[in-house]
Amino acid sequence: MDTQVIGHRTPRVDGENKLTGRADYTTDWYVDNMLHGYPVPASISHGTLEALDIEPVLAMPGVVAVYHHGNFPKLYRSPSSQAHQDQVSEVRLPFEDERIHYDGQYVAMVVAERYEQARAAAHALQARYHQDSGARPGLLETREDGRPLESEGGLRGDPDSAYERAPVKIDHVYAIAPESHMQMEMHATLAQWRDDRLIVHESTQGVVYQHKAMARIFDMPEEKVEVISHYIGSGFGNKLFMWPHAVATAAAARELGRPVKTVLSRQQDMASGGNRPASRQRLRLAADEQGRLLSMRHDSTTETSFVHPYVDSVGTPTLNLYACDNAAISHHLLEVNHGTPCPMRAPGEVSGIYALECAMDELAIALDMDPLELRRRNYSYEDPTKGLPWSSKHLDTCYDSAARRFGWERRDPRVGSMREGDEILGWGMATSSWTAGRQPCMARVELRADGTVMAACGTQDIGTGTYTVVAQTVAELTGVPLDRVEVRLGESSLPAGPLSGGSMATATTLPAVAAAVRAAIDELKEVATDEDAPFTGADPDGLAFRDGALADEQGKRVAFDDLLSGQKLGSVSGDGQAAPGDEQNQYSFRSFGAHFVEVRWDPGISRLCVSRVVSSIDIGRAVNPVTARNQVEGAIVMGIGMGLFEKLDYDPRDARLINNNYSDYIVTSHADMPEIDVELLDNPDYAFNEFGARGVGEIGLTGIAPAIANAIYHATGKRIRDLPITIEKLMEP
């Protein structure tokens, strides 16, 4: 498809709003008569709340109410069904009972006239607990394995006997510490009841999901609930599904008859607003002497909380990343006394690919083979799980291009052999991958008499650039310039759109917007061929819409705004919808890429840094190469954090979260950022959708941590299988 706007570098259409402060984030909303909520977190992780000393707090300045188990209104749990789009992050309602399951679980919420008053009262509220012994501190602090989950298993061939017979094999256990999303903008809710309607501003990745979940929980007709999220300061997955603070805030607003806004503190956000769960993964790989995989076995355990069974599906990449006839995955789930985990960027797969890609490196070493060559020898030309061809796979090009730009052919495979002064260079690589998904979606487009076009969809822009790609789609199909396209997102009353998650928003939303554009143009043609209209009597199908105007075959051309004005119409609109179709039975859809990483290791002072990352990623068509590249570069930076720094520290004695702030939980700083060279291949995947786009939010994160771990081995000879790879691990003999 020859395009004018799609696939071209396009500055964010919402950039000016963000730079000038016009962008209305949830926290920015102040409404008349508004109160402030402040949750009171439990300071134990396992036990029972015995008493709350409410009276002194109620007497504090500005305090209006304190909600807790004793006085919280009766609500209903959401069924939390993905199919019905009412999924929540934690099915347990706030203050449902007096059991404490994790440090930071809300035991009460103070509501006061001012934020500072609510916070001070929350700090002052004295709670008495009965602390139970035997808090389970975390998966990696125990040998327990939890319960098996049959639904997460997978098997083809006979991996066990193939493993036994194979000449070369490895068998190792990898572990990843729990991580925090550390999104910039904290979870926040503003709830207002107007008559019998509930209006919620929330920083969410899914207005539609929250809208439906709120309706279930408050037992209301869906049309009486509106959820609004115009701008989101990122989420990385922890804002996909609603958390208890939103329920508590909406309930308080109803009880008090006044709007209530709750903004979590960073400490609360980290303790009770989601995390990537710890995982422990055993990888068994076997190959013949030529490096062809004979058997793959990936047995995983992840943790979840005692109040919500979140499963991080870490094993799936092992079933489809490489060609291998014998493969099996299994999954166990262990409940621990931590806040509930939830999806975090590339959920499951980034953890599984870490273990798999480290194991592949270890297998290459066992084979005395170049790790890139091992991957080439096991290239999958079709999806081994579905037996379907990949719709568009160019991983070989990614390997070639990234290896060439990195200079991989100059790699001396001997450990510690590449020295520069005090430093030793380590070079490692890994494959990157993320599944390509699409959801059903609806959209509406209006052509307006003032010459603008409005596109609306009930999805949201979490900072990734959805406003811009929707505007690009409209501009592409109408020829109307971007500055005359208005995009409305982030309201559940708009035509239902997807979650901003799973790298699905672009591929899901754009075809629906395109359908709506076409429907609006069809409507315009109807108007244009009416009596007393410019194209009276013409066959609508004979009219073409180009560069913002309708034209007939004789060359007569009328701009749509002139046409509408002439017909005394303010606008015409079209509704569109799109959904995955029969292509799902013909192809398997997945994106692939490759990361090459250089680390510098100074053994004299045990200092390690990532100095260079070269990546080639194939995501089909990058609708906006600027924001797409931004996603991959940001993911690389995040991956360095996963590899080297990030770990939620729970005290092993009582499962309390210790590093609950931006200072003690270490994310990558600017000074840690390497030279980054990202290439996005441009191979539109038209089997997937008409724009050929597969999505880009997650893929860049997958493969970074293992490429770092593999480079570290090359530099140091130390195979560190537990993330993050901190200094003390590098110092172990």
Partner 1 sequence: MRTFAYRTADDVTQAVTTHGADDQVAYVAGGTTLLDLVKLDVMRPTQLVDINRLPLGEVETLDDGRLRIGATVTNTELAHHPEVKARYPLLSQALLAGASTQLRNMATTAGNIMQRTRCPYYRDASAACNRREPGSGCDAMHGINRMHAVLGVSDQCIATHPSDMCIAMAAIGATLTLEGPDGKREIAFNDFHRLPGDQPEKEHELRPGELITYITLDTPIEGAGAYYLKLRDRASYEFALASAGALVSIQDGVIHEARLALGGVATKPWRSHEAEQALHNQPAAVSTFEMAAEAAMQDAVPHEHNAFKIPLARQAIVRALREACKDAENANEPR
Residues 6+ apart with CB under 8 A from 1: 684, 686, 690, 691, 692
Nearer to partner 1, 281 or 668 (CB): 668
Distance in angstroms (rounded) separating the CA atoms of residues 484 and 501: 28
Nearer to partner 1, 522 or 649 (CB): 649
Instruction: State yes or no: is 446 an active-site residue.
Output: no
Shortest spacing between CB 130 and partner 1, in angstroms: 16
The answer to whether 152 touches 330, Cβ cutoff 8 Å, is: yes
Shortest spacing between CB 119 and partner 1, in angstroms: 8
List 390, 645, 691, 713, residue binding partner 1 (CB under 8 A) = 645
Q: What are phi and psi of 577, to 5 degrees?
A: -145, 155
Q: What are phi and psi of 362, to 5 degrees?
A: -65, -35
Distance in angstroms (rounded) separating the CA atoms of residues 280 and 261: 39
Shortest spacing between CB 660 and partner 1, in angstroms: 8
Q: How deeply is 553 buried, as exposed, middle or buried, from its count of CB atoms within 10 A (0-12, 13-18, 19+)?
A: exposed
Nearer to partner 1, 61 or 717 (CB): 61
The answer to whether 62 touches 113, Cβ cutoff 8 Å, is: yes
List 68, 117, 537, 683, residue binding partner 1 (CB under 8 A) = 117
The answer to whether 144 touches 155, Cβ cutoff 8 Å, is: no
Count residues near partner 1 (CB under 8 A).
38
Q: What is the dihedral of CA 406, 412, 413, 415, to 10 degrees?
A: -110
Q: Which of 168, 172, 430, 164 lies closest to 291, judged by CA?
A: 168
Residue with token string 């990195």: 406
Which token pair is 83?
């199919």
Nearer to partner 1, 39 or 593 (CB): 39
Please report whether residue 17 would count as binding partner 1 according to CB under 8 A: no
Q: What is the dihedral of CA 598, 599, 602, 607, to 10 degrees?
A: 160
Per-residue interface string for the shown chain with partner 1, residues 709-728, x marking contact by CB under 8 A: -----------------xxx
Distance in angstroms (rounded) separating the CA atoms of residues 456 and 459: 9
Nearer to partner 1, 123 or 404 (CB): 123
Please report whether residue 290 would count as binding partner 1 according to CB under 8 A: no
Per-residue interface string for the shown chain with partner 1, residues 85-114, x marking contact by CB under 8 A: -----------------------------x
Window 214 to 273, contacts with partner 1 (CB under 8 A): none
List 24, 28, 132, 672, residue binding partner 1 (CB under 8 A) = 672
Nearer to partner 1, 377 or 647 (CB): 647
Whole-number Cα distances in Å, 99 to 49, 78, 103, 335, 348: 6, 20, 12, 15, 29
The answer to whether 515 touches 690, Cβ cutoff 8 Å, is: no
Please report whether residue 19 would count as binding partner 1 according to CB under 8 A: no
Q: What are phi and psi of 75, to 5 degrees?
A: -125, 180
Window 34 to 63, contacts with partner 1 (CB under 8 A): 43, 60-62
List 15, 381, 653, 675, residue binding partner 1 (CB under 8 A) = 653
Shortest spacing between CB 613 and partner 1, in angstroms: 15
Per-residue interface string for the shown chain with partner 1, residues 474-513, x marking contact by CB under 8 A: ----------------------------------------
The answer to whether 447 touches 515, Cβ cutoff 8 Å, is: no
Shortest spacing between CB 34 and partner 1, in angstroms: 18
Window 578 to 617, contacts with partner 1 (CB under 8 A): 604-607, 609
**Catalytic, out of 303, 357, 523, 698:** 698
Nearer to partner 1, 577 or 726 (CB): 726
Shortest spacing between CB 672 and partner 1, in angstroms: 5
Q: What stretch of H or E contains 20?
A: helix 15-20
The answer to whether 318 touches 327, Cβ cutoff 8 Å, is: yes
Write out the residues near partner 1 by the rule CB under 8 A: 43, 60-62, 114, 116-117, 119-121, 123-124, 604-607, 609, 644-645, 649, 651-653, 656, 658-659, 663-664, 666, 668-672, 726-728, 731
What residues are annotated to the active site?
Answer: 698
